[in-house]
Amino acid sequence: MEQKSGLNESQFRYLVQSRKKLVIVLLGASITCALLTFFTPISGDRVFYSNLLAITSSGSALALSLHVIYRQKLNGILPRLYVSLGVGLALWFIAEATWAYYEIVAGMETPFPSVADAFWLAGYVPVFYFLYGIVKHFLGIPKRALLPVVLISSFGFVLLANMIISVSPTADLATQDGILSFIVSSAYPIADMFLIVLAAAAFMQLRKGQLTFTPWAFIVIAVFAFIVADIGFGYFVMVDELADMVWLWYPLYNAGDVAIACSLLWHRRFFTVDEKKQTKEWQEKNR
């Protein structure tokens, strides 16, 4: 039986099953992170679990990225772009580790802004370069895709403007620390909007591919999770009555990291070559 994509029935089923498994992984990990974050006692366990989950989820994305880099090496544009993604994930992992150090090891409330924010914001640069490189070198943006990209961009920036306007009255702009906090809080969703435009542009082009739909769908999910979490986190930080409940947004960050890990897992499975495994199989067949 031939599918429209040219795959036979067994190949098509394998792709569908692989996609379902990744969706189950994403949902299962996201629900687990939410439950551990929401329902652990406030006596201190929440701080430990939320930081452990953050390091685990961001670390899984980084580990898979390093594995992809190892298998692809550095030859060609695409492997180098994935190196850029790996650098961004490494910076985000360092940010999570720094945040965890403040709260678990040093036993102090993490200042805002902090050194961790510098690593987080720096990580956006290589991730942006990765998405920009994919769109520029491999896809381009045809005229038929311009309208969806423009609509997504417009919606995003309207949402961003509304968030900034709503937070401005509660921000302490009379002091240097207040101004810095407002700038950093606003920088995250602004950076996210740049990412979602590029991620959406890539997804619009690749959504019809049997192999390319899945990893880019997970990338879009990840960026959307980061956008919502950053907007919510920034708003809670700026409002004194909500500052102690910023942990409500942690599971969305975990979900974003897991979504990136799922995307990389798919890319490693279907777009990279295990040369050692191929050599071993050839040796077994040619004894």
284 in a structural domain: no
283 in a structural domain: no
285 in a structural domain: no
Instruction: Summarize pLDDT for 199-235 with one digit per residue, the tens.
Output: 888 887 777 788 888 999 999 899 889 888 887 887 7
Token output for 63: 């580990």
The CATH number of residue 39's host domain is 1.20.1070
Q: Going by C-beta distance under 8 Å and a sequence separation of 6 or more, which residues neighbour residue 88?
A: 123, 124, 125, 126, 127, 130
- Average pLDDT over every residue of 237-243: 74
**Residue 252: in which H helix or E strand, if any?**
helix 250-271
The total of other beta-carbon atoms located within 10 Å of residue 29's CB is 22
pLDDT band at 3; cut points 50, 70, 90: very low
6 in a structural domain: no
Q: What range defines the domain where residue 33 resides?
A: 15-270
* Cβ atoms of 171 and 182 closer than 8 Å: yes
pLDDT of residue 150: 61
Given a cut of 70, whether residue 50 has pLDDT beyond it is yes
Judge residue 189's burial from the number of C-beta atoms within 10 Å of its C-beta, 0-12 exposed, 13-18 middle, 19 or more buried.
Answer: buried
Instruction: Summarize pLDDT for 153-184 with one digit per residue, the tens.
Output: 666 665 665 555 555 555 555 666 667 777 77
Helix axes of 213-238 and 250-271: crossing angle, nearest 10 degrees? 160
pLDDT band at 283; cut points 50, 70, 90: very low
* Cβ atoms of 196 and 229 closer than 8 Å: no
pLDDT of residue 172: 57
Nearest to 139 by CA among 222, 81, 60: 81
2 in a structural domain: no
Count: domains in the chain: 1
Instruction: Summarize pLDDT for 110-139 with one digit per residue, the tens.
Output: 677 788 889 999 999 999 999 988 888 877
282 in a structural domain: no
Nearest to 254 by CA among 19, 59, 43: 59
183 in a structural domain: yes
- Average pLDDT over every residue of 4-16: 75
pLDDT band at 67; cut points 50, 70, 90: very high
